Structure 1
Amino acid sequence: MKISKSMIWKVVAVFSLYTLIGFIFDIDVLKIIIIRPNEQTISIVGVIICLLTLKLFSYIEGKWKANN
């Protein structure tokens, strides 16, 4: 499977968006990487939400390209 530059930018955008929203509203579930003074963890729910959002974007993009 070849990863295109546009897919990398989509991943970075979704990751940044959820991280920014998580930090602004202080919601740990949306932060994919949670950094605290004594620990660093990865939110499984955050990763799942990120992957589902990317799948949704890919589905919408495919439907949009098929209609045009």
Structure 2
Amino acid sequence: MVDKQFGLNDVVQMKKPHPCGENRWKIIRMGMDIRIKCQGCDHSVMIPRREFTKKMKKVLEKSEKNS
């Protein structure tokens, strides 16, 4: 299995969309838990890193700092 590469301020797509209909999330905090913010309604969710890597589909936009 290939390890997914993601970083702070990247915009990612999750496997399931948010109830507001948007499927773009920005990573706003990283650590043991990862906080992501919906780009549609600005709702933020904190989930464990292990769960995040399972539910993340792909990175849509890399942040300029992580390039």
For this structure pair, what is the TM-score category when the shorter chain's length is used for normalisation?
under 0.3
Structure number, greater radius of gyration: 1
Scaled by the length of structure 1, the TM-score of the pair is 0.25
- The structure with the largest helix share of the pair is 1
